[in-house]
Amino acid sequence: MTAPIRPQPGIMDIALYQGGASAIAGHAQPLKLSSNENPFGPSPRAVTAMTAALPTMHRYPSTDHASLRGAIAGVHGLDADRIICGVGSDEVLALLAQAYAGPGDAVLYTEHGFSLYRVFALAAGATPVVAPEVDRQVDVDALLACVTPATRLVYLTNPCNPAGTMIGLDAITRLADGLPADCLLVIDGAYAEYADGYDGGASLVDARQNVVMTRTFSKIYGLGGLRVGWGYGPQHVIDVLNRLRGPFNLSNVALAGAEAAMKDREFVQTCAQSNATQRVRLQGGLRQLGIACDDSHANFVLARFADEAEAIAADAHLKEQGIIVRLVKGYGFAEGLRITVGRPDDVTRVLDVLAEFKGAA
């Protein structure tokens, strides 16, 4: 009998991804605060650009993404030749593992880092290694203690998801300084635009040959459904990744929308300012209700209840009132609910429902 066809080792250890819920029975238009999406949607200029690009869908898109890379470089003061664009930042993160990790290698990240880091490591045949955090924050010493000669990639989510905490540039620099030259530090900055004064690690990339940063259009730019992200790294790394990247990975519509969104700085600033104000309101309101939370530097807040049972009960009560948030037991916080920062009325509604829940508890 012929042997069965088998996937590469590690692939069957990957659990299928479970996204945030988007519907509630009995509620035609629930308030969705489960996926850290921009409550204001995309820039109107991005919508206009995407609409204008639709008639060109019979043409293959640009393979070098030069116009989009130029827009990114112009806004952030970067070298366009050292930028790579992908199908969300996920693709860039996955390509890094594919290019630089394999059997016998280790991929390191912290215990509450992005859940797909484990997937990227296993898909490449590498071993995922988890470093502990302290009080829901990255511990540089703990990360460095886990580095071995086999370590090829270190993924750092900053700000992190789901706690929203972050470490400063000095701490990231110390981490980079402590890594061997043949180990890449990958700074995942999906939420960097929400952290005031943070460059996402660009200055470290410019100063070193083993640091890469990634960003996304899925959060503050409101283009999660378009799937566009980018990375910035040393030329030798970008050259390798472009050999793996599909030549037509981004459509004409995606390229046009992302470029227009990047250039609309007024819209981005408005979204960032609203998020900062409403994030403070949400954190303060939760604490007044006796619900613990850390100071977040992202567009969500991790509400920590007394235990898992209370978190599940609070989630159920929110759903009864048509509000969807995210249980984050899979991230190691059985007692937590991650709540996206919404519009002012959204924050008021969440706090009112949770006050009702706490009053009835």
Q: Would you say the pTM of this structure is higher than 0.85?
A: yes
CA atoms within 13 A on the CB side of 271: 25
Burial class (CB in 10 A: 0-12, 13-18, 19+), 21: middle
The string of pLDDT tens digits covering residues 240-279 is 999 999 999 999 999 999 999 999 999 999 999 999 999 9
Domains in the chain, CATH or no CATH each: 18-41+266-360 (3.90.1150.10), 44-263 (3.40.640.10)
Place of tokens 């609910």: 337
Q: Which of 207, 95, 225 is nearest to 155 (CA)?
A: 95
The string of pLDDT tens digits covering residues 139-164 is 999 999 999 999 999 999 999 999 99
Contact (CB, 8 A) for 140 and 175: yes
Mean pLDDT, the chain, integer:
94
State the alpha helices, DSSP H only, in 138-264.
140-146, 169-178, 202-207, 235-244, 252-263
Residue 231 CA to residue 248 CA, distance in Å, equals 17
- Listed range (9-23, 77-91, 228-242) with the worst mean pLDDT: 9-23
The string of pLDDT tens digits covering residues 285-310 is 999 999 999 999 999 999 999 999 99
Residue 97 CA to residue 154 CA, distance in Å, equals 10
- Per-residue pLDDT at 282: 98
Residue 37 CA to residue 44 CA, distance in Å, equals 16
84 forms beta bridges with 231
Place of tokens 């071995």: 148
State the alpha helices, DSSP H only, in 8-139.
44-53, 66-76, 88-100, 116-123
